[in-house]
Structure 1
């Protein structure tokens, strides 16, 4: 069974730099305000190995990734 991840985005911290969407485009996008959000399928998809890298790339550490 594939590993899954729980990804959370702190919208209060997010500044909309877009690093997450650039690093892991299969998992992250930006909403109408430019803030990070998960793509609709990302919550039920197998773990994206780039999601953890996207969390590290976030300049304000607004993304948390935990393995389920």
Structure 2
């Protein structure tokens, strides 16, 4: 997806806060101390592959990567 822009969306009803996305893409996802998942909605071009990998690894399939 080199050269493409994407937008991330997390379904908070599906997310179980396992933080696998944070391990896969720490620049994009962070589990806060109060249990909320913080994430970058519009990753830069260099982060697109990390975003895709995090979505693939999510056991709840809560992360969607949409092309814009």
TM score, norm. by length of structure 2: 0.78
Aligned length in residues: 65
**Contact kept in structure 2, 1:10 and 1:62, CA below 8 Å:** yes
Identify unmatched segments of 5+ residues in structure 1: none
Shift in Å at residue 26 of structure 1? 0.9
**Contact kept in structure 1, 2:7 and 2:43, CA below 8 Å:** no
1:12-27 residue pairs with structure 2 within 5 A?
A: 12-27=13-28
RMSD (Å), alpha carbons: 1.9
TM score, norm. by length of structure 1: 0.78
Identify unmatched segments of 5+ residues in structure 2: none
